[in-house]
Amino acid sequence: MFNSITKMTKKKSSLSTLANHKTISDARRMLPLAELKILMVEDDPFLRDLYQRIFDRASIKVELARDGEEGFDVVKAQKPDLMLLDVMLPGITGPELLSKMAKELEYVPMVIMLSDLDQIGVKDKCINLGAKAFISKNDVSGPELLRKVEEILKA
C-alpha cells in the first residue's frame, strides 16, 4: 500500500503554460527539505494536522492553507519553493489553482499534487498544467511522504 508513486515527466509542450514563470531553481531543488519554503494546500483537517505533525517531527517548517483561494494568496505573498497541492479542494480545485497561478503570477512554485483519486485523466491534466509529480495519498505513510517528496526534488 505504501510503496507506489505515480511520477510523470513533462514534455516540452506541456511546459508552455509555465514557460514565462520563475520556478524553483535546480540549485534550490538540491537543498534539504528543511531549507525550502513549503506550502501544503489541504482541505481535510485530519490530513492537514497529520501532515503538519509529520513535517514538524522532521524539523521541516510547512505553511498550511485550507483551500485554493488561501493557497493562491500564500503563493502570491510568500513565494514558497514547493507546493504540495491537493487535487480536490473546495472553491478553486488543485488543477484550477495550477491554471490560475500560471495565468496570473510571475512566480510559480514547484508543485507536487496529492490526491486520493487515481484517475489517469486527472494526473495528466495536472502534469500538463505544470505539476512536477503526482502522489497518491492512499499509497504513502507519513515518513514515506517525506521520502517521496525528496526523491521528486532530486529527479
Count up the domains in the chain and report the number: 1
At 40-88, the pLDDT tens digits run 999 999 989 988 998 888 888 899 999 999 999 999 999 999 999 999 9
Q: Is 115 part of a structural domain of the chain?
A: yes
Q: Is 62 part of a structural domain of the chain?
A: yes
- Per the structure, the complete domain to which residue 114 belongs is given by 35-140
Q: Is 92 part of a structural domain of the chain?
A: yes
Q: Is 30 part of a structural domain of the chain?
A: no
CA 86 and chain centroid, separation = 7
pTM of the model: 0.78
At 102-132, the pLDDT tens digits run 999 999 999 999 988 766 788 889 999 999 9
Q: What is the pLDDT of residue 35?
A: 82
Q: Is 22 part of a structural domain of the chain?
A: no
For 37, the grid coordinates are 519554503
Q: Is 148 part of a structural domain of the chain?
A: no
Q: What is the CATH number of the domain that holds 102?
A: 3.40.50.2300
Q: Which residues are within 8 A (CB) of 150 and not within 5 positions of it... i.e. 6 or more apart?
A: 33
- Give the count of beta carbons closer than 10 Å to the beta carbon of residue 38: 21
Residue 25 clears pLDDT 50, i.e. is over it: no
Q: Is 155 part of a structural domain of the chain?
A: no
Q: Is 122 part of a structural domain of the chain?
A: yes
